[in-house]
Structure formats: structure tokens, C-alpha cells
A and B are shown apart, each in its own frame.
Chain A
Amino acid sequence: MNQLITLIEESAIATSVREGDLLFPLIETLHILAVSLVFGSIMVVDLRLLGAASRARPVSRLTASILPVTWVAFVVAIGAGGLMFISKAHKYLENGYFDAKLVLIAAAGLNMMVFHLLTARDIATWDTGAPPLGARIAGGLSMALWISVITCGRLIGFTMPVG
């Protein structure tokens, strides 16, 4: 495992990200733009699940319209984040906030899966009405998890200085 990480760190791409003066900040900015859009677009859905906003929009239509934006932004965020990671893989893995961030993203994914597979099964009965408790919990949990993800992301920068 350790050897694999070293191999990744020494790859041509990782080296150029690490050693280019401009490349790392550019990738980091792209990461932030993408993460911003992931968070903001998920908030739209979470607030609807909480019954706090977009109440005139059926949940199924709102998610069908907004979540593709979230997914595109998520793929860009993972791509840019992945490039930052491979440039200093060992240091990132040793950083507690980085590890916590990955766990929190996994938890957010799990929360979404539980919602889609269980809570949303009878969505037809509450699509236009007040969301049931399960949906509210999913929305609140998602919001808390993504705020935590961004908090950890920012703290990585403080505990692992660039350069």
C-alpha cells in the first residue's frame, strides 16, 4: 500500500502538480468552484426535503432537475481533488481532516442511498405535500454532513500548508 502511494506520488502528473507554481492553485480553485456548486445545489434539495423551501415544486421533479448539476460538479470536484491528493498523497493521508472528509463524504453518500432506496419508495404519496419524517431527517443529515465536509476541507489547508 505504502509503495503504491509512493508510486502515485512519483508519477509524472503528481510531480507536475506538486512542482508547478501555478498548477496547484489553479486545480485548487477549480476544486472550490466545483465543491461550492455541489454544496449549494444539494442545499436546494435538502431544504426541500426539510419542507423549508421550493415547496411549490414536487420533490421528484426538483431532484430530477437539480441533481444532475450536483453530479457534474461532484465529478469535477473529485477530479480536481484527486489531482491535489496524488501530488502529496502521504501527507494528505496523514492529515486527520482529510481522512475525516473522506469518511463524511461516504456518510453523505450512504445517507443519499438510504433515502433513495427506502424513504423515497413512497414518494408519490408526499411528492407535492409535506415531507415525512424520514425525508426531513435525510435532508437535515445531508446538510450537516456537507457543512462538515467543507469545514474539514478548509481545515486541511490550515493543517497542511501548501508549497
Chain B
Amino acid sequence: MEHLLGHLSHYLAGTAACRLIQSSAWMIPAFQTVHILAISVIFSSAILLNLRVLGLVERDAPLAQAANRFLPALWTTVPLAVATGVLMIVGEPRRALMNESFHLKMLLLLIALAATALTRRTVRAGGGGRALAVLSMLVWAGVIFAGRWIAYSQPG
């Protein structure tokens, strides 16, 4: 896996897209800003939905209705976060691909997405899942944590 990512990183570094992003002063900051905005929407949707599952917000709205408002916002914003994330990887392949914090972020992201999909199922089945709600919030926070840590850990 490490070897494969090394090859991918090496390949991306040689592409015209990488050189274009590298030669621009505004692209990386712009991608990062949109990435953070997208993650904010995803994170907040997940937090608010899970707080609703725990009965801490929106108690006067049915759980299914709350889920129908927050989950579409979450899922439709994921492609934007992924797209800007990919652009950041293309621009600085080694910074992310060879970085353990990035690997951790991807692992946590998969768990967070799975937990969110599971939450949708439990909500449709009639609610419950308080432990899942707490776990989901923690893992989503972990995604942001690991993401910020990419800037502080050296690529291998």
C-alpha cells in the first residue's frame, strides 16, 4: 500500500495539473477554504442530527423530519469536500498521500460515513442508537482532527 501510494504520488507530481496548481499562488488556499467550508456543513449536519437522536436539539421536531433535513445536506456536500480534497492531493501529492495523518483521516472518514449510513437506517427503523450517535460525533470530530494534523506531520 505504502509502495503503491509512493508510485501514485510520484506520478501525480509529474502531471500538468500538479504543475499548474503549484505555479498558482491562490489555488491551494482557495481549495483549502472551500474544503473547510464543505467539511463544516458535513460536520455540522452530522452533529445536529446526532444531537437530535440524543434528544438534545430539535426535540419539537420528529426525528425522521430532522433526518430528512440534515442528511441530504450532508450527502450532497460530500462530493464537494472530496473534489477539493482531490485537487489538494494533485497539487501537493506527497504532503497527503505519504502522510500518516492523511491515512488516519481516510480511515476515520470511512468509519464516519458508515456510521452515518447506519444512523439513517436506525432512524428509518424508528430511532434509538444513542451509542451510535455518540460514536458518530466523535469519529467525525476525529476526521477534522486528523485532517488538521496533516499540516503538522511530516510525509514519510
Binding site for B on A (CB under 8 A): 25, 28-29, 32-33, 35-37, 39-41, 43-44, 53-54, 56-57, 61, 65-66, 68-69, 147, 150-151, 154-155, 158, 162
Contact = CB atoms under 8 A, between A and B. Distances in A.
B144 interface: yes
B40 A44 contact: no
Interface in B111-152: 141, 144-145, 148-149, 151-152
Contacts of A25: 148-149, 151-152
B24 interface: no
Contacts, number: 82
B144 A33 contact: yes
Given A36-B39, A37-B44, A154-B33, A53 B149 contact: no
A44 B44 contact: yes
B43 A40 contact: yes
Interface size class of B (residues with CB under 8 A): 20 to 34
A65 B32 contact: no
A41 B41 contact: no
B61 interface: yes
